[in-house]
Structure 1
Amino acid sequence: MNSKPTPRPGIYKADSIIDVADSLGITNLSEEVANALASDVEYRLHQVIEEASRFTRHSRRTIMTTSDVDQAFKTLNIEPVYGHSAHTPLSFRRVQPPAGPPIYVLEDEEVDFETVLKEDPIPVPRSVRYTAHWLAIEGIQPLIPENPPPEVPAIADQPANSALVTPPPTQNGSTSSAPADSTARQVARPPSRLVSSLVPSAEERKKTAALTSLRADAGLAPVLPYITRWVGEGVVNTLRREGLEGDEMDLDRRSLDIYLDVLSALLENERLFVEPYLHQFLPPILSILLTSTLFIPQPLAPTPSDPSPSHLRTHSSSVLARLLLQHSATYPSLASRVTKTLLAALVEPGRMLGTREGALRGLISVGREAVKRGLLQASGGKIVSDDMDRAREMGMDTRGVEQALMVHPATDGVPLHPLNDMDDEDRAAADALSSGLGNTLASTIGQDATWAKSLARVISDVSLPS
C-alpha cells in the first residue's frame, strides 16, 4: 500500500492556526495548510528559543529573560517585540473557552474615554533642524545656548552658612576683591618680561630674544590685543612729549623704533591671527610716518643707537608696505584708505616738510599708482619742490625729502649723463619735468637723462590739473 504516512502532531497545534485565521477573517483555511503553518511556526519558535538560550548561557544565568529573546530576534534579523521589556511586568489572565483548553491572554487596562479627553494632549516633538553658530572666536567660546556652559569649579569644604560669610572690609568700608583685581590687571597687559626687554635701556640680547618670540610664538594669541594696545599707547605718549632736547629726544626716537620692530614682528608671525587688529596697527604706523615733530632742522649724524627722523619714517614705511602686501587681498579698501590719508598729508597747505617726507615714503610703500597720483595728478611734486626751496633759504636740512624722492637707484659702474640743453628732446623733457614736478625736483632728476626722459613721458600721459 502506497498511502502517505500520517504527519506526526507537533507541540504547536493546527487548531491555533485555524483560530488565528478566524480572527483575521479567513474561514476557508484547509487542514493541510494549517498543519504546514503549524510546523513552520514550531520550527521558528525552536530557532528563536535556541538562539535566546545562547545569550542566557553567555550571561551566566539559568532563567531566560525577554532581553535574551530580543537579542535573538536581532541576531535572526527579525523585528523585536516592543513593549515587553524586562522592566515591564506582564500580567496574564486565564480565559476558558466553551470548548478546548484554556487560553492565557494579557490583561489590558481599561481606559475611560472621558478621562482621556480631559488630559492635556501630548505635544508633537519638533523636527530636526540645523543652524550655524560660532563654536569659538579667537579661542573664546561664546555664551550662547548652542554651546555647553562653562565649567564652574566646585568649592570644597564650604561651610553650610557660607552665604552669611562676607570678606573683611577694607579701610574705606568696601569689601576687598584684591585677588580678582590683581588677576584682571595681569591679564589686561602684556607680559612684564616682554615689556621690560623692549625698552631702549634693555640689553641687545634680551631685545633680540623678545622680538624673536614675537615673530614665531603662537602662545601670544591671548595677549595679542594687549600688546597692540601697549604699542599704540606708547607711540601716542612718546609723540605727545614736547620740549625735549638732547638725550631725551634720542631716547624717544629709539622707543619709536622699537615699537615699529614690535609691529613688524607681529606681522611676520604666521601663527597669529592679526586681521582683527589691523585697525590698531595703522594709527601708530601713520603717526610716526606723518608727525612733523620728528623733523629736526639741524643735520643729524644717524647711528644705530640714535635713529634719525628719516630712519624712523623709512622704517614705518617698510612696516606699512608689509601690512598692505599681506592683507590688501583680504581688505580691498585698505590701500585706498591709506592712500587718501597720505595724499591729504602731501598736498594740504601748511604741512611741515617732515610730514610731506613721510607722505612720500608712505605713497612709495603703497605702490606706483599711488606715487603717480600724489606727485603728478595731485600736484604734490610742485608743492614739495616749493617747500624745499623755502627750507633751503631758511637753512634747514632737506636731505630726508631728497632721499625719499630718489626712488630710481643709480646703476653702479655706469656714469650718469645729464640732460643736454642743446638737444630738443632733452629740452622738452626738462620742460615737462619743470611743469609737473617743479624746478627743484626737475634739476635733481635731470642729472640722469634716461630716467628724466622716462618720467617726462609719464608726465605727458597724465592729465595735469589746470
Structure 2
Amino acid sequence: MSKQKARATNAQLTGLYKPEAVKDVAESLNITGLSDAIASALASDVEYRIHQVVEEAGRFMRHARRTTITTSDIDQALRVLNIEPLYGHFPHNPPTFRRAPPFPQAPSVGTVYFVEDEEIDFDRVIREEKITMPKGVNWTAHWLAVEGVQPLIPENPPAIPRDIEGEPSGIKREPSTARPGGLFPPTPPSSDRPSPMQGAKKQQQPLVKQVLSRELQLYYTRLTSSLLPPSSDDTKRNAALASLRNDAGLQALLPYLVRWVGEGVVNALKGGVQTDNDGRVLGVLLDVIGAILDNPTLFVEPYLHQLLPPILSTLLHSTLPPTYATYLRTTASQILSRVLRQHSTTYPSLSPRIMKTLLLALISPGKSKGTREGAIRGLMGVGKEAVRKGLVEGGGAKVVGSECMPGEQSPVVDSVIAALKVLHPPSSHPLPLNTYADTDQPLITQLQETLGEFFAEQLLFDRDWAAGILSGSSEPS
C-alpha cells in the first residue's frame, strides 16, 4: 500500500503544470508558506482547466474545417465555458513566440518561450509619408422613385434627355398617316415589328426600364380604340370609361394614359379652326380625365402637373367648335373644381397658381371672348370667392362688358350672368331699381363703377340681386 501511495504522489507531481508555477503565482500575490500538497492540487486543477479549454477550442477548429487552433477558437471556448476571455490577442495578427535556449546554470528550468518586441526605427517613421485613413462605409436613405417618378437628387441617376426619349417600353408607336382632325391610339408593340426609336435607344438605353405585361398592353390598346375616334360605338366608349373609372390595377398604365390624353388635346387644338370632330375628341378626353380622377385606386398626385395643362388648354382656348364650346368649357371647369377639391389640401399653392392663370386670361387686354368665357367658368369652378375676386374686385365684369355691344346675347355674357348668380341668387320677386329715385341712385352708381354699364343694366330689374352682389351677402336682403 505504501508503494502504491508513493507512485500516486509521484504521478501527481509529474504534470504539465508544475507546482512551482503555482507557488510563484502565490508569492506574486503575497501568499507565502504554500504547502506542496496544496500547490500540487492547484496545479492539477489548472491543468484540467487548460485541457478543458483546449478541447473546446479543438471543437471550434474542427467545425471551421481547420487544422490549426487560433486565438479566436480559444476565445469562443472561454465564452462557452462562461470564463472571461483574454484581452490583447487577435486572430488577425497572431503573436510570434521565440524559444530561448536553456540556461546552463539551471538546466532543470526547461525551454522558455517569449514574444519578441518589434524594434521601431524612429528615423524611418518620421520620414515616412502619413497616409490619411479613408472614410468608413456608412449607410444613408433616399427615395429612388415615388410612384414611378424619380426625384432629381444626386443619389439617383440623371434623367434621360427629351430628344432621345421615346415611348416607354411596353407602349410603342408606329408612324401612321392619320387623317386631319383624327386621333388614333398607339399600336401595341410586337417582337417582329421594330420601332423607329430602336436605333436611338440602342445608343443610350434608359436607366430605369418599366416593362408592361402583355395583358396591360392589350387593355391599353382596346381602351384607346374604344374611346377614339369618337364616331365609334357609344356602348363601347361608355364601357371603356366605366372600366377606367372602377377597375383596380391600372396604376402602371396611368403615366401612359396621362400622356395619351395630353397628346390628344394638343393634336385637337393645334389647328387654327376646330371642327365638330375635334369637339367630340376633346369631350371624350375630358371624360377620360374625369374617369381617372374618379378611380379611387389610382394615385394621381404625381401626375397633376401633366393633367392640368390639357384641362386649362381646353378651358381657355380661344376657338372651340361653336356646337361644343359651352359644353367643353363647363366640363373642364367641373374637372378643375374636382382637382382643387381633392388635392388643394396636399398642395396649398395649387389654388393660387390656377387663380393667377385665370385672372390673367380674364383681365389681360387682347384676349378673345372665348378665352374670357373659359376664365369665368374656371373661376366658377374654383369657388365663390374666386368669382368675387375676378369679376367684382378685379374688374373682370367691367372688362367683358366694355367689349360687348348693347343688348348683346353671347356665351360670354351668359357666363358672366351665371357667375353673378353664384355670388348671390336672384330674387324670386324682383323689384326694379328706380333710376330717378334718390335712394336708388347711389346703388346704381356703385353698380356701374363695379360691374360697368353693360352688366349694370342687366341688374337694374332686380334691386335685391344687385344689392346682394355689391354687399357680398349670401342671403337676399
TM range (shorter): 0.5 to 0.7
Q: 2:260 pairs with 218, 224, 230, which one?
A: 230
CA separation of 1:398/1:30 partners in 2, compared to 1, >3 Å: closer, same or farther? same
CA deviations over 1:68-99 (Å, ceiling 9, x no partner): 64332112142257757699798774753424
CA separation of 1:38/1:339 partners in 2, compared to 1, >3 Å: closer, same or farther? farther
CA deviations over 1:361-413 (Å, ceiling 9, x no partner): 112223333322221233211222343435728x88954554444325869xx
2:328 partner SS: helix
Distance in 2, matches of 1:447 and 1:357, equals: 24
Indicate the residue corresponding to 2:470 in structure 1: 456
Contact 1:417–1:448 under 8 Å retained in 2: yes
Indicate the residue corresponding to 1:324 in structure 2: 340
CA separation of 1:84/1:93 partners in 2, compared to 1, >3 Å: closer, same or farther? farther
CA deviations over 1:200-258 (Å, ceiling 9, x no partner): 234445434544555566755555444333322221221123445xxxx2221121122
Unpaired stretches in structure 2, ≥5 consecutive residues: 1-8, 158-197
CA deviations over 1:1-57 (Å, ceiling 9, x no partner): xxxxxxx877543422455689xxx59652439987886675465346446646867
Are 1:351 and 2:367 an aligned pair?
Answer: yes
Indicate the residue corresponding to 2:399 in structure 1: 383
Distance in 2, matches of 1:254 and 1:356, equals: 22
Indicate the residue corresponding to 1:193 in structure 2: 222
1:256 partner SS: helix
Indicate the residue corresponding to 1:167 in structure 2: none
Contact 1:53–1:68 under 8 Å retained in 2: no
CA separation of 1:201/1:34 partners in 2, compared to 1, >3 Å: closer, same or farther? farther
Distance in 2, matches of 1:279 and 1:439, equals: 40
CA deviations over 1:163-198 (Å, ceiling 9, x no partner): xxxxxxxxxxxxx959969x9899799843332233
Map 1:358-369 onto structure 2 (within 5 A): 358-369=374-385
Map 1:61-140 onto structure 2 (within 5 A): 69-75=74-80, 76-80=82-86, 93=99, 95-97=101-103, 98-103=106-111, 105=113, 124=133, 126-127=135-136, 129=138, 131-139=140-148
Distance in 1, matches of 2:382 and 2:87, equals: 76
1:341 partner SS: helix
Shift of 1:354: 2.2
Q: 1:436 pairs with 436, 450, 467, which one?
A: 450
CA deviations over 1:335-366 (Å, ceiling 9, x no partner): 33322222222223343322221111112223
Are 1:291 and 2:317 an aligned pair?
Answer: yes
CA separation of 1:127/1:77 partners in 2, compared to 1, >3 Å: closer, same or farther? farther
Mean Cα displacement is larger for which, 26-35 or 398-407?
26-35
Contact 1:310–1:400 under 8 Å retained in 2: no
Shift of 1:313: 0.8
Q: 1:15 pairs with 17, 20, 31, which one?
A: 20
CA separation of 1:329/1:143 partners in 2, compared to 1, >3 Å: closer, same or farther? closer
CA deviations over 1:242-285 (Å, ceiling 9, x no partner): 445xxxx2221121122222333344455555444433323222
Indicate the residue corresponding to 2:185 in structure 1: none
Letter of the aligned partner of 1:79 in structure 2? P
Mean Cα displacement is larger for which, 314-323 or 360-369?
360-369
CA deviations over 1:291-349 (Å, ceiling 9, x no partner): 121263xxx5xxxxxxx311111111122222233333444433333222222222233
Contact 1:84–1:90 under 8 Å retained in 2: no
Shift of 1:106: 6.0
Indicate the residue corresponding to 1:256 in structure 2: 282
Indicate the residue corresponding to 2:194 in structure 1: none
Indicate the residue corresponding to 1:165 in structure 2: none
Are 1:418 and 2:420 an aligned pair?
Answer: no
CA separation of 1:256/1:127 partners in 2, compared to 1, >3 Å: closer, same or farther? same
Are 1:406 and 2:421 an aligned pair?
Answer: yes
The RMSD of aligned alpha carbons is 5.0
Unpaired stretches in structure 1, ≥5 consecutive residues: 1-7, 149-175, 301-307, 460-466
Contact 1:360–1:405 under 8 Å retained in 2: no
Q: 2:390 pairs with 353, 374, 385, which one?
A: 374
2:113 partner SS: strand
Distance in 2, matches of 1:137 and 1:238, equals: 32
CA separation of 1:68/1:382 partners in 2, compared to 1, >3 Å: closer, same or farther? closer
Contact 2:95–2:115 under 8 Å retained in 1: no
Distance in 1, matches of 2:418 and 2:273, equals: 27
Distance in 2, matches of 1:437 and 1:384, equals: 9
CA separation of 1:240/1:42 partners in 2, compared to 1, >3 Å: closer, same or farther? same
Distance in 1, matches of 2:154 and 2:425, equals: 65
Shift of 1:134: 3.6
Letter of the aligned partner of 2:360 in structure 1? A
Distance in 2, matches of 1:143 and 1:17, equals: 72
Letter of the aligned partner of 1:258 in structure 2? V
Q: TM-score, normalised by structure 1?
A: 0.66
Distance in 2, matches of 1:15 and 1:328, equals: 89
Contact 1:211–1:261 under 8 Å retained in 2: yes
Distance in 2, matches of 1:40 and 1:448, equals: 118
Distance in 2, matches of 1:145 and 1:50, equals: 57
Letter of the aligned partner of 1:103 in structure 2? T
Distance in 2, matches of 1:124 and 1:133, equals: 27
Letter of the aligned partner of 2:392 in structure 1? L
Mean Cα displacement is larger for which, 346-355 or 327-336?
327-336
Contact 1:375–1:381 under 8 Å retained in 2: yes
Shift of 1:132: 4.9
Distance in 1, matches of 2:36 and 2:401, equals: 116
CA separation of 1:14/1:317 partners in 2, compared to 1, >3 Å: closer, same or farther? same
Q: Aligned residue pairs: how many?
A: 403
Distance in 2, matches of 1:145 and 1:399, equals: 53
1:373 partner SS: helix
Letter of the aligned partner of 2:270 in structure 1? R
Letter of the aligned partner of 1:418 in structure 2? L
Letter of the aligned partner of 1:355 in structure 2? T
